[in-house]
Structure 1
Amino acid sequence: MDILIAIVYIILFLILMVFVFSIGMLKPFMPKKEIALVLVVAFIIGSIGGAFFLEPLYQEFPAFAGEFEKNVPGNEETLYLDLSSATNIGDLKQNLSQIDGFKSFNETGITFFMWSFNDQELAYFNDVIGNIDSHYGNYTVDPSGKININLEPGYNSNSALQSFSNWYKLVYGDSIAYAQIHAKLVVSSSSLDKFENALLERGIVANHIDGPVQNVINQTNSSMLSYNQFVAVSGVVGVIVSIIGIYFDNVIVGWRKFKKFIKR
């Protein structure tokens, strides 16, 4: 959120609190039984102010906390990407490597989506996958037809896809229409926004991010109040301000007496 907009929201909320305070100061001119009504009105005004002016700022707090962590030297973020097999991985890696803050880009695995396997097919795929390519690492075969294959470090996904495609065509006489490539991008925390924007321009969004910045954001999010709780707290603030206004005259008189006592 723009800093100017944030300042305007805070000023508007303070104006509401001044209004609530002013209502409280009208106590000498209203019956005692109406003081409860003043507190109710103060709670409603405080809640409305919190919902419309403070809550949007409150939601920005995790990102604000993350900005501090981005500036810590040496911090790195790891972005986990799921890419279409139609993606030009070499071109993507080259473009990303030219951005300041680039650390590494590695293709970690591939996923194929087949048909639902019966028990015989499931056993067959579990037996044969490891023999298709010696650079395949651990793999899992799900009865739904999803096959996840981890790649050995340094092995490129294009070769891995070609190996599977050649085997599949040889056995089933057909071509693989679609596969998913998994990659891991490591960048400097201070440059995280640049890489997210560069990926977004290609229609790519990281499915998961690990690192100091994301950890701070996640921790802050987990400790924050819910929307209803925050609005209720804002209402309580309005009540407190109203009470200060109600007893403001007594506070001033007491302060003056205190100052006279100190002087004596």
Structure 2
Amino acid sequence: MDTLTVIVMLALFILLLGFIFSAGLMTPVIGKKNIFFVIFIGFIAGVIGGIFLISPVYDELPFIVRNIYMSTSDVNETITADVSAGKDILRFMDELSAQDGVEAVYSEGIFLKTDRFSESRKRIIEDKISLIDPNITSWQVHTNGTIILQVKKGHNPVRTLDTLSEWLMYTGGINTCYSAVHLVVTVRPDKVDSIVSYLQARDVVVTGIKGPAEEKAAAFKAALPDKSNIILFCGFLGMLTGIAGVFIDSIIAFIGKIRGREA
């Protein structure tokens, strides 16, 4: 939802309140007996306005606040993504690094899905994996064929993938069915959304966004009251607007008396 749409919907809700207020002003014509009807109409109209005009804006509020945080923050955000090894990963990393707003790109982990293997083969892999590539800092090996590796920052992940896949095949006849590289992208906050779109357009799975602006936006969203409460508030606001219209003469007279005393 763009800014113009938000302004239009808020303006329409204000116009709705104006209609409710006008209905309250009509009580001298329709009779004081209908005051409860005016209040009821004010509540119902307020609820309807809350559902159709305020709720959509309320749903967009976290995104609006997030954009404000992103545009005003000067601390970089971190995007994490999984890139299939079927891509030319090194070339992709170079192209990503060249995008406006990207401060750094590096690989942090590797995921492999292989044929299933025995418990004894698992122990062999765990014992030899650090010798296969000393840049592997930690690992998780599961007999269902799932292998998750952590590598040194900045290390070439393709080399590790190729070396480990070849070793698994030559020593145990284990095929690597699928592999992916976990990338970490440091981005200026005002360019986060454009980089996420860039990644998604290239079939890259974005696994997370972290940073001060993202955390503030998440905290703001968590602090927001439930939408049903906002709708009820709009109903009560409509009801109060109707009451104000009914008793506007008394309210003006009361304010006049207060000003007269102060004078």
Aligned identity (percent) is 26
Partner of 1:175: 175
Tell me the SS of whatever aligns to 2:186: strand
Cα distance in 2 for partners of 1:116, 1:246 equals 77
Report the CA distance between 1:250 and its aligned residue.
Answer: 0.7
Moved more, 203-212 or 216-225: 203-212
1:101–1:191: 8 Å Cα contact kept in structure 2?
Answer: yes
The 5 Å alignment of 1:182-197 reads: 182-197=182-197
Question: Hey, what does 1:252 align to over in structure 2?
Answer: 252
Residue equivalent to 1:25: 25
C-alpha deviation, 1:69, in angstroms? 2.5
Q: Find the counterpart in structure 2 of residue 49 from structure 1.
A: 49
User: Partners in 1 of 2:188 and 2:144 — Cα distance?
Assistant: 38
Alignment of 1:46-125 (within 5 A): 46-72=46-72, 74-114=74-114, 119-120=119-120, 122-125=122-125
Aligned partners of 2:102, 2:165: CA distance in 1, in Å?
Answer: 32
Distance in structure 2 (CA, Å) of the matches to 1:65 and 1:153: 33
- Counterpart Cα distance in 1 of 2:240 and 2:141: 61
Asked if the contact 2:73–2:213 (Cα under 8 Å) also holds between the matched residues in 1, the reply is no
Deviations 1:16-43 (A, max 9, x none): 11111122233343354x4334333222
Uncovered stretches (5+) of structure 2, i.e. residues with no partner: none
Q: Does residue 201 of structure 1 match 2:201? A: yes
Q: Which runs of 5+ in 1 are unaligned?
A: none
**What's the CA shift for 1:87?**
2.0
Cα 1:141/1:173, change in 2 over 3 Å: closer
Query: SS in structure 1 opposite 2:78?
Result: strand
Question: 1:14, CA displacement in angstroms?
Answer: 1.0
Q: Distance in 2 between matches of 1:124 and 1:229?
A: 59
- For the residue of structure 2 that corresponds to 1:150, the secondary structure is strand
CA contact (8 A) 1:65 1:216 kept: no
What is the TM-score when the length of structure 2 is the normalising length?
0.88
Cα 1:260–1:199 shift into 2, 3 Å: same
Q: Shift of residue 114 of structure 1?
A: 3.6
- RMSD (Å), alpha carbons: 2.3
Letter in 1 for 2:147: I
Letter in 2 for 1:245: G
Q: Deviation string for 1:48-84 (max 9, x for gaps)?
A: 1112112222222222222333334631010011111
SS of the residue corresponding to residue 109 of structure 2 reads: strand
What secondary structure does 2:175 align onto? coil
Q: Deviations over 1:218-248 (max 9, x none)?
A: 1111111222222122212212212212221
Question: Match of 1:87, SS?
Answer: coil
Following superposition of structure 1 onto structure 2, how do residues 235-246 of structure 1 map, counting pairs within 5 Å?
235-246=235-246
* Matched length: 262
